[in-house]
Structure 1
Amino acid sequence: MPATDNQGSFLNLISIRRNQLPSIETDQELEDLDLFQKHVAIRFSDILSSLSTTAPAANNASTAGSGDTPSSATADTDSPGAAAPAIDKYIPPPPPPFLSINWFRTLLDTFLCCEAEFKAVLVSGRDPSQFSKPPLDRLIPDLLERAVKALDVCNAVSHGVELVRHWQKLGQIAAAALQQTPIGEGQVRRARKALATLLTSMVLDDKDNPHGKSAAAAKDRRGSFRSLSWSVAKSWSAAKQIQAMSTNLAAPRGAESTGLAMPIYIMSIILVFVMWALVAGVPCQERNGLATHLPVPKQLGWAQPMGGLLEKMGEEWKKKEKKGSGTGLLEEIQRMEKVAQSLIDFADSFVFPLEEEKAAEMAVQVAELAEICRKMEEGLVPLQQQVREVFHRMVRSRAEVLEVLEQVSKSSVPVPY
């Protein structure tokens, strides 16, 4: 009968599609994993490539309205056959300087984008039962443990940013005093006091910096970490925390490299690298022995740009260690430390009335200090907010994964009859 034939054909079609569903899900999963790796590679490649981008692009943008463009724009468009006004081509702003506040903000933006996509790959539309099977039953708890350690790092970095804001205020006091005209001994003494407190705090912020710990410095601990309210023990070490986060990081092999083990591994590497970068950039408690070699597999395409960034930052960190400075890699901090020391030398040799040549030299340095403080004032609060956003994002993501694990645990409990 035709009806029976049609019914049989319909049932056969459903049967075929059901048999195909695992294949469809597998294909979609592979596509999602591939896209995630590509997006990670693109995002970190953009950061790495920005390091070689030169600043003249900004100059081109500022002169875009000169030359032929104005003559075209001011042409008599009412006359027949007149050319239409030229439309200025958009020239994007230059990338932020390497290790500047805005550079670290870009890095945190990249982390948040990667984390959001990773969570979608791991949790969205996923069969929770997969979490209880090898290797996820081992890898997911490891990732959650790294997230907990990263929360401590975020707290430490947030306090470090607060310390840098304290340095910024001291720098502003010194710059304002030295910008007075005419400048006298009173203004110089006030500036020197602020700068001395600033440099003393920079020395005392890190226990791994053995330089310059005089008796006078030991008495004045304003701005040091000990004056801040910490949520971690005094024995807590940022370097040891990063080392603990990087343990048990092994790239998936064989069949595991094409499953969910790979995105978990990638996100673990990203998490460790970003936390390491924050610890290296911003003053943190106990960075003695901070490693410059992390288990970033450069042979993998998505990890190559990350490895390049790690190498460049590691070189800068080694330079700081050789100089005996433990203030951090943040560009604004390094510039502030250098200018502050130079202005203290000026204050120590100050003689009234000030010679014209020395006044001009001092004015250049004071202007630089004021500019550094301005950048800090504009960028430090948003940076601190981003660090807190990373903190809360990890808390929420961890809670979501724990909820899935709880569902798996409940479903595996035998139902009593």
Structure 2
Amino acid sequence: MRAPMPATDSSSPAAPLTSIGRSIRSLRRDQIPTIPPPSAADPNHHASSDLDPTDAFQRRAADLFTDLLAENPNDLLSLSWMRRLLDSFLLCLEEFRALLFGSGAAAAAARPPLDRLVTDFFDRAVKALDLCNAVRDGLDLVRQWRKHLAIAAAVLATSPDPDAPLGEAQIRRARKALTDLTILMLDDRDGGGGVVGQRNRSFGLGNRDARARGQGHHRRSSSGGSSGSGSGSHLRSLSWSVSRAWSAARQLQAIGGGLPVPRPHDITATGGLASAVYTMGAVLFIVAWALVAAIPCQDRGLQAHFSVPRNFPWSGPISTLYDRILEEFKKERKNSCGLLKEIDQIERCSRHLMEITDAAEFPLAEEKDAEVREAAQELVQVCGSLKDGLDPLERQIREMFHRIVRTRTEILDCLSGTQ
């Protein structure tokens, strides 16, 4: 069992460098491949090659999110779309890291006003780590739902005699699986995450490193719910991704609330780096917000307000993306466990199959049998989409987690060496 990353409290400052910086060195860097910068073959590369590096970074972020908006609207918040969203985040983070390691940038980041802005960004980035753990817990939950869905699909889609109508035993078995699925989803919807907060998996370090940190950092946590005296609470902090009191909604507010807009003087004094830090903060929030919107999370909520000035090249596409997801949330899907397209398909297909098999008379009439079989094929397709998409998405969320930790550690180590 992998030990969890310590939960971050949205009301407390981020952990000091020693809480992550020293222990992260135990990670093998070959597990975190570097995403290369845009190549000359990239059509956007030539357009931004003559720009100042910080302007080019903002233009790149604008292009990435414009491309996301250009996708088929029906693919919004699907598993494949979420993977492209995370690809965009990782590209932005890698280019942001390159900016801060650029010529003279590290020295500038160690001095006011950039030092304050960089520290604020990484305070917010640390809070995104708990969201990564919670979202991965949510993916585990969807896997459980898929098992029940797969039972119903297998019962109805396979038959010893394809020419014979579906039998009563098959219909009853499928309905029981779908009833169990519905109960699970209702429990997790009404319980604000249900068992989501009680997973034993996490993207954190090994047991030994986590236990060493737990003896100090966990006890210093005040209200995150992961700390406490006594062996019971200490054990819980090492086995749960997040505490019972942890809230995805509050964590999002801590990431995006009061994001400091750089003043013109700060932008000039830092050679544009202040704008780059603000850009990365906005990208971090919108990606974290979209993950919570799509995937079941403990105390999931999208109340965090997000507004950015219109004078940044990326503000238009990112604001439009925020509005579109919020609009989806306000529709009938606001009562769903998550806005992920495949979750909507689970709910819709299950409900449809339950309706058409309710009070069915046996043997089934030919038209009814054909209708049930058609609905069963929809279940098969949804199961296939989940099987193919959940694991790759989880790997990208793991990558997001480790890349945030790595970037924070390397940059703060660099800053400490320039002081």
Q: TM-score range by the shorter chain?
A: 0.7 to 0.9
Q: Give the corresponding residue for 2:284.
A: 271
Match of 1:150 in 2: 128
Is 1:45 aligned to 2:66, yes or no?
A: yes
Q: 2: CA distance between counterparts of 1:311 and 1:110?
A: 19
Counterpart check, 1:100 vs 2:78? yes
Cα distance in 1 for residues equivalent to 2:415 and 2:118 = 9
Q: Distance in 2 between matches of 1:292 and 1:100?
A: 22
Residue 195 of structure 1: how far off its partner (Å): 0.8
Question: How much does 1:201 deviate?
Answer: 1.5
Q: TM-score, structure 2 length as denominator?
A: 0.73
Q: Is the 8 A contact 1:296 1:303 kept in 2?
A: yes
Selected match of 2:319 from 286, 304, 307 = 307
CA contact (8 A) 1:209 1:326 kept: no
Aligned ranges for residues 6-405 of structure 1 at < 5 Å? 31-51=52-72, 97-181=75-159, 182=164, 183-207=166-190, 224-225=195-196, 228-229=199-200, 230-258=240-268, 259-288=272-301, 290-291=302-303, 293-320=305-332, 325-405=335-415
Deviations 1:278-321 (A, max 9, x none): 00001111014x2264123344321111111111111001114x
Gaps of 5+ in 1: 1-27, 53-95, 211-220, 410-417
What displacement does 1:143 show? 1.0
Q: Which residue of 2 aligns with 1:79?
A: none
Amino acid at match of 1:33: T
Deviation at 1:324, TM superposition (A): 5.6
Instruction: Find the residue that maps to 2:52 and give its secondary structure.
Output: helix
Distance 2:331 2:317 in 1: 22
Structure 2 gap segments, 5+ residues each = 1-48, 201-239
Contact 1:170 1:194 in 2 (8 A): yes
Structure 1 residue 247: deviation in Å?
2.2
Compared CA separation, residues 204 and 226, structure 1 to 2 (3 A): farther
Does structure 2 retain, via aligned residues, the 8 Å contact 1:206–1:284? no
Return the alpha-carbon distance in structure 1 between the equivalents of residues 134 and 246 of structure 2.
Answer: 10
State the AA in 1 paired with 2:300: R
Structure-1 separation of matches of 2:63 and 2:252: 25
Tell me the distance in 2 between the aligned counterparts of 1:150 and 1:127.
25
Give 1:121 deviation, angstroms.
0.6
Q: Deviations over 1:53-97 (max 9, x none)?
A: xxxxxxxxxxxxxxxxxxxxxxxxxxxxxxxxxxxxxxxxxxx81
Give the root-mean-square deviation of aligned CA atoms: 2.2
Question: In the alignment, is the contact (CA less than 8 A) between 2:155 and 2:173 conserved in 1?
Answer: yes
Task: Give the equivalent residue in structure 2 for 1:92.
Answer: none
Check conservation: 2:192, 2:299, Cα contact below 8 A: no
CA distance in 2, matches of 1:324, 1:244: 22
Amino acid at match of 2:136: S
In 1, are the aligned partners of 2:248 and 2:292 still within 8 Å (CA)?
yes
Cα deviation 1:93-112 (Å, max 9, x = unaligned):
xxx81211000000000111
Moved over 6 A (4+): none
Question: How many residues matched?
Answer: 324
Which gives a bigger RCO, structure 1 or 2 (Cα 8 Å, sep 6+)?
2
Tell me the distance in 2 between the aligned counterparts of 1:44 and 1:169: 34
1:206, 1:327 within 8 Å by CA — same for their partners in 2?
yes
CA distance in 1, matches of 2:398, 2:145: 21
Tell me which structure has the larger Cα radius of gyration. Answer: 1
Partner Cα distance (1:228, 1:42) in 2 = 37
1:177-215 deviations in whole A, cap 9, x for unaligned? 1123342222222211211121112112234669xxxxx
Separation in structure 2 between the aligned mates of residue 103 and residue 232 of structure 1, nearest angstrom: 26
Deviations 1:149-173 (A, max 9, x none): 0000000111111111111121111
Q: Indicate the SS of the match to 1:241.
A: helix
Percent identical among aligned pairs is: 43
Q: Deviations over 1:101-127 (max 9, x none)?
A: 000000000111111111101123335
In 2, are the aligned partners of 1:297 and 1:307 still within 8 Å (CA)?
A: no
Residues 370/205 of structure 1: CA separation in 2 closer, same or farther (3 Å cut) = same
Q: CA deviation at 1:398?
A: 0.8
**Cα pair distance change 1:335/1:247, threshold 3 Å:** same
Is the 8 Å Cα contact of residues 128 and 407 (structure 1) preserved in structure 2? Answer: no
